[in-house]
């Protein structure tokens, strides 16, 4: 276990924001987890569990212990004729893990390639892209109870997964550390090509009978066209969730705005937050050192050395204008940490 006080978090968030925290602790081995939890039980300082820092906006001073989970290892637990059960430690890089599974020919995660961050965070907001969510492949999530000092396996059916949400953002928030995730993947994969231009991309490449490798490559190409690479432009990816509205609200908006982009979800409709933000004139706008990505209005970007407060102000201004124009509440997907 590594521990530093008053530590700079700039290298630990994809927004590239400079921020300091009371203490930075890195858990590198399984034994560190129990050791830190017992120390935390004696401390009155709050803590924040950090993965890859790709879904967070740090405010300048974080009066907390920031605890980075850096456990590593991938293990094939079992297999039968149809499936493999593979366990990855929380600190493994998510996209590298997906690519490892794709190379092995195990299907289920290929649409989720290219999402920054760690395996341990994937169940927290039930990461999703191109018609697939982590919940579709997660078998169970291994956790350590910070107060109980006990290991626990939370089954998929207990995770309360929904759109960008799970029990780990709700009842188990700050109660457990996720230490590894087990996925059940398909040896004879069926492809999900229904979403976001994957089929057009494959067609462009002249691929008629795609494999999971082709799908993952197509997804990467599509993502690179739309999203900034955090190594070049700081961001937290999609900054806002796509709001879900009741059918009456959807119909009234659609009457006013026939071009509005929306998808049915059960009896409700999910509106494309990027479209709403673009209609309010924000796409490509820059306010000081922070801006809205010119290729995708859902993404806020660091134009140099923005602070968490700059991002907060811009996010608030965007939320206000969407509320005024459409009477729709935009919730942030990225988390402000202070």
Ligand X SMILES: Cc1cc2nc3c(=O)[nH]c(=O)nc-3n(C[C@H](O)[C@H](O)[C@H](O)COP(=O)(O)OP(=O)(O)OC[C@H]3O[C@@H](n4cnc5c(N)ncnc54)[C@H](O)[C@@H]3O)c2cc1C
Instruction: List active site positions.
Output: 164, 238, 333
Report, in Å, the least distance between residue 323 CB and ligand X.
24
Closer of 125 and 307 to ligand X (Cβ): 125
For residue 253, give both structure tokens.
């908006």
Q: How far apart are the first and last CA of the chain?
A: 23
Task: Return the percent helix, strand and coil in the chain, to nearest 5.
Answer: 30, 30, 40
Closer of 133 and 214 to ligand X (Cβ): 133
Going by C-alpha positions, the residue among 190, 152, 191, 186 that lies closest to residue 172 is: 152
State how far the Cα of 35 lies from the Cα of 223, in Å rounded to an integer. Answer: 40
Closer of 33 and 253 to ligand X (Cβ): 33
**Torsion angle, CA of 174/65/338/276, rounded to 10 degrees?**
-50
Report, in Å, the least distance between residue 254 CB and ligand X.
26
Binding stretches for ligand X (CB under 6 A): 14, 48-56, 69, 90, 115-118, 120-122, 124-125, 127-129, 168, 177-178, 227, 230, 235-237, 335
Report, in Å, the least distance between residue 102 CB and ligand X.
16
Closer of 253 and 277 to ligand X (Cβ): 277
Sign of CA dihedral 42, 18, 317, 332: negative
With beta carbons less than 8 A apart as the criterion, state whether 138 and 98 touch: no
Cα atoms in the Cβ-side hemisphere of radius 13 Å centred on 199: 6
Q: What are phi and psi of 312, to 5 degrees?
A: -60, -45
For residue 286, give both structure tokens.
């820059």
Report, in Å, the least distance between residue 122 CB and ligand X.
5
Closer of 102 and 127 to ligand X (Cβ): 127
Report, in Å, the least distance between residue 4 CB and ligand X.
17
DSSP codes joined into one string, 217-283: HHHHHHHHHHS--TTTSEEEEE-BPPPEE-HHHHHHHHHH-TT--EEEETTEEEE-HHHHHHHTT-T
Report, in Å, the least distance between residue 264 CB and ligand X.
20
């Amino acid at each position: 276990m590594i521990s530093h006080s008053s530590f700079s978090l700039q290298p630990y968030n994809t927004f590239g924001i400079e921020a300091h925290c009371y203490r930075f602790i890195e858990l590198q081995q399984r034994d560190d987890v129990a050791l830190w939890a017992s120390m935390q039980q004696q401390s009155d300082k709050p803590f924040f569990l950090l993965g890859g820092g790709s879904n967070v906006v740090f405010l300048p001073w974080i009066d907390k212990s920031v605890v980075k989970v850096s456990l590593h290892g991938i293990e094939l637990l079992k297999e039968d004729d149809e499936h493999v059960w593979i366990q990855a430690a929380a600190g493994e890089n998510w996209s590298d893990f997906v690519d490892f599974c794709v190379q092995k020919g195990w299907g289920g995660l290929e649409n989720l390639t290219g999402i920054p961050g760690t395996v341990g965070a994937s169940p927290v907001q039930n990461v999703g892209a191109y018609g697939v969510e982590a919940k579709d492949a997660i078998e169970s999530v291994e956790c350590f109870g910070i107060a109980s000092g006990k290991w626990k396996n939370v089954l998929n059916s207990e995770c309360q997964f929904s759109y960008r949400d799970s029990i780990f953002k709700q009842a188990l928030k700050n109660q457990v550390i996720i230490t590894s995730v087990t996925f059940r993947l398909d040896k004879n994969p069926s492809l999900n090509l229904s979403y976001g231009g994957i089929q057009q991309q494959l067609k462009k490449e002249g691929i008629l009978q795609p494999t999971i490798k082709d799908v993952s490559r197509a997804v990467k190409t599509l993502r690179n066209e739309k999203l900034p690479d955090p190594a070049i432009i700081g961001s937290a990816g999609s900054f806002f969730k796509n709001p879900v509205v009741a059918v009456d609200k959807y119909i009234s908006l659609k009457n006013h705005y026939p071009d509005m982009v929306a998808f049915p979800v059960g009896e409700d409709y999910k509106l494309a937050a990027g479209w709403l933000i673009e209609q309010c004139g924000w796409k490509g706008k820059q306010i000081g050192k922070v801006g809205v990505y010119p290729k995708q209005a859902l993404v806020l970007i660091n134009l140099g050395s923005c602070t968490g407060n700059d991002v907060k102000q811009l996010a608030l201004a965007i939320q206000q204008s969407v509320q005024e124009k459409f009477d729709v509440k935009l919730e942030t997907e990225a988390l402000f940490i202070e």
